[in-house]
Amino acid sequence: MKRFSARCFAKSGIWIALILVLLAAASPAAPQKNKDKKKDRSASDSQDSFNSSMPDSQAIDQAVGEMLGYWQIGDVDSLHKFYDDNVVVVSGLWEPPVIGWANFAKAYQEERAHVSGTRMDRSNTLIKVNGNFAWATYQFVYQTSAEGKIAQFRGHTTLILNKESGHWVIVLNHSSIVDSSISNSGPTASSAQPGQH
């Protein structure tokens, strides 16, 4: 199955989507990017005080959801506040890990430029907290399109987080693909044409 998937991705260019999903995953609730820096700052300050009053596991779940939302809409600046500058990102591909925020951001932006219509659903999240250290793991279903094909991936992501200055940041992001499928995004020959029944 892995060889088949690798051949499909190499031939169709959908491997770009695979790398993108392995770099990070997204939830369906995407936060809106605020262009007014003052509003961003005040919203961030109120969020920080809200997060400090909730249990760590709930604050982590909220942070992961927000991070995934920013990932989904492509807001790299907002995404950065959830990642440590020395983050390590491990994909399911046979490749070296991506080390450091700058390298991750560059790879993310390059891969995102090749895909569209991304949707990620996160489920079965489990969070374990031990002082200023925590891990979160969840399952995902990711769908995207590239080069006229639709790709869908199912897999798992595990995040290792540290609490730094009262904020949970990701220090390790590891994703694995369990299965995938690729299909044409256009109508098939058997599809009804407009005006036909």
Q: So what's the pLDDT on residue 97? A: 96
pLDDT, residue 64, reads 96
Neighbours of 157 (CB within 10 A): 22
Model-level pTM?
0.71
Do the domain assignments include residue 78?
yes
pLDDT at position 95, please? 86
pLDDT at res. 118: 83
CA distance 7 to 2: 9
The pLDDT value given to residue 186: 54
- Starting at the edge strand found earlier in the chain, the sheet holding 116-130 runs 98-99, 83-90, 167-184, 149-164, 133-146, 116-130
Q: Tens digit of pLDDT for each residue in 59-68?
A: 999 999 999 9
- Residue 124, domain member (yes or no): yes
Residue 65, pLDDT score: 95
101: amino acid identity, one letter: W
Q: What is each CA distance from 174 to 40, 54, 92, in whole angstroms? A: 29, 26, 8
Q: What pLDDT, on a 0 to 100 scale, did the predictor assign at position 4?
A: 39
Per-residue confidence (pLDDT) for residue 51, from 0 to 100: 55
In a domain, 169, yes or no: yes
Return the pLDDT at 145: 87
Contact by Cβ (8 Å): 116, 24: no
Residues of the chain with pLDDT under 70: 1-52, 185-197
Report the domain count for the chain: 1
Residue range of the domain that includes 151: 2-32+47-184
The neighbouring-strand residues paired with 170 are 83, 161
What is the CATH classification number for the domain harbouring 108?
3.10.450.50
**Position 15 in a domain:** yes
pLDDT of residue 78: 97
